[in-house]
Amino acid sequence: MNDILASTYFKNFAVPLITVFLSVFVKIVSRNDQFISFKKEDLAIGMDVSITALIIFIVASAGLASELANITSDVTNIVNERLTSVPWLILAFVCIIWFVSTIVRKFGWDNEDELNIYWGILFPDIIGILLLLFVVNWMGQ
């Protein structure tokens, strides 16, 4: 089991797929039973995944900082180098999320209630998955 969880394939494919499927599943099953069970807007999970990736990144960075406080060796330099990039990466995350939300707001709606399949659903989903992959790989280094 440890070999599966530690594999690159699990980290790069299974984690994002499980995240996407769970996000869509929760959106569908939490809807009122009186309404349609599935709408294309249920696939719009990119912003949720992006915010989740940002939160995971911040928590992982805080854990890295606490590890640094307990280490006194050459490893400190390596960990310190990674920590110096954290504020810039958080700023990049915030800018990317802001950019994606602006794209969705300007181009992602077909009408008042329906998202455009490309700019409203696929684009933010792809960005969210890419951000999640980045965080998962950054944590694994």
Query: What pLDDT, in 10s, does the model give residues 16-57?
Result: 888 888 888 877 777 766 666 778 888 888 888 899 889 888
Sign of the CA dihedral running 20, 101, 55, 61: positive
Residue whose structure tokens are 């006194």: 72
Query: What pLDDT, in 10s, does the model give residues 53-105?
Result: 898 888 888 887 777 777 766 666 766 777 788 889 999 999 999 999 899 88
Closest CA to 79 of 67, 62, 92, 87: 67
Closest CA to 120 of 103, 108, 102, 105: 108
Quote the pTM value: 0.72
